[in-house]
A = this chain, B = another copy of it.
Amino acid sequence: MLTGHQTWIFPNRPVIRSSAAVGGPYEAKGPLADDFSLLHGDLWVGQDSYEKAERKMMEEACELAIREAGMEKADIQFFLAGDLLNQITPSCFAARTVGVPFLGLYGACSTAMESLALAAQLVDSGAAQRVLCGTASHNAAIEKQFRYPTEYGSQKPPTAQWTVTGAGVAVLTHDGEGPRVTSATIGRIVDMGLSDPFNMGAAMAPAAVDTITAHMRDRAISLHDYDLIATGDLGRVGHPIAVDLLKKHNIDMPYERFTDCGILIYHPDQPQVLAGGSGCGCSATVTYGHILRRMRQGELRKVLIIATGALLSPLSFQQKESIPCIAHAVSIEFA
């Protein structure tokens, strides 16, 4: 049900019946390692290309989530997924393995919440009873596609973020027990003219603030209702910019509960991660692993996840375009 301008309220409160987060070697050394369902010791995941490794992790996350829900693949009615690789091939190949009706999505790193929002909408409206949704990213596959060949060993500025190697997936159902999706705010494109792909956090921060503001307006609620408010992957550069913008707009944000998945996933002193995590797998693994674990343990009751996405391509950057950004927010409650 549409409320306000861009927010869906879900009166039937679809249930996140199960979820799974699969991670790689950098995530295994991070502070959230215990929240992953499965961790891989190397980037290859037993495959002969990084792209296949990403697909493998997505397939593993799907299998784990379906099994945890006590289901078989055939019980799933729709699979909603996307990722950062060209033509979202890891998602498409994983969809071949899952073998159910598939809706491919692309929202860059916002795909985690785009897929959850749409899956919840389908379940809430009765268009589905059991939906699998999720996303993935792979550090080396993304580096070679978006930046430089990994063999160059090129250096990056400290504003750059480190693409998460991981997949996060959830099974949504119309009944059963578990955290419930209560609303979703679909973001607009916000483009402040920034064009530096080594500083995505700064580019995406205004989109996050735009969607947070829309969520408050449409739902007419206070952000103090939430126990945790997490942006997707603004990182240590972008998140403070979002804080500044919120303050400038006089948004009454409980800043002590306002965090970012890209900050949470790595230790600040982990080598190479620079300004923090990014990639589709960032908010997906942090939400479906860490945050949902805390909800299931009763530590958090109501959360808002705002997954941010930078909708550039290497070619649009070369053609000197700025970076169009977007953010989708989903609220999850576990009473």
Which of chain B's residues have a CB closer than 8 A to the CB of A77?
Answer: 2, 5-6
Q: Tell me which residues from 105 to 146 in chain A have a Cβ below 8 Å from any Cβ of chain B.
A: 105-108, 114, 118, 121-122, 125-129
- A311: nearest residue on chain B (CB-CB)? B92
Contact between A86 and B189, CB atoms less than 8 A apart: no
* Candidates B78, B126, B191, B312; contact of A87 at CB < 8 Å: B312
- Complex Cα distance A96/B324, Å? 7
From A6, which residue of chain B is reached at the shortest CB distance?
Answer: B101
A104 CB within 8 Å of chain B: yes
Interface centre among A49, A101, A114, A129 (most CB of B within 10 A): A101
- As for how many copies of this chain the complex holds, the number is 2
Name the CB-closest residue of B to A214: B101
The verdict on A205 contacting chain B, using a C-beta distance below 8 Å, is no
* Assembled-state Cα–Cα distance A132/B186 (Å): 14
Interface status of A219 (Cβ within 8 A of chain B): no
9-residue interface stretch from A58-66, A157-165, A263-271, A315-323 = A315-323
B321 close to A93 (CB less than 8 A): yes
Complex contacts, A315 vs chain B, CB 8 Å: 51, 85-86, 89
Interface check A277, CB cutoff 8 A: no
Q: Are B2 and A128 touching (Cβ within 8 A)?
A: yes
Once the chains are docked, how many angstroms separate the CA of A329 from the CA of B265? 41
Question: Whole-angstrom distance between the alpha carbons of A298 and B18 in the complex?
Answer: 50
Could you write out 12 A-B pairs with CB less than 8 Å apart? A1-B126, A2-B77, A5-B77, A51-B319, A52-B319, A86-B315, A93-B321, A99-B188, A100-B188, A101-B186, A103-B105, A125-B127
Given A95-B324, A101-B186, A102-B189, 18 more A-B residue pairs with CB atoms under 8 Å apart are A2-B129, A5-B101, A6-B78, A86-B86, A87-B106, A87-B313, A89-B312, A89-B316, A92-B326, A102-B186, A102-B187, A102-B188, A103-B105, A103-B114, A104-B326, A106-B106, A121-B121, A125-B127
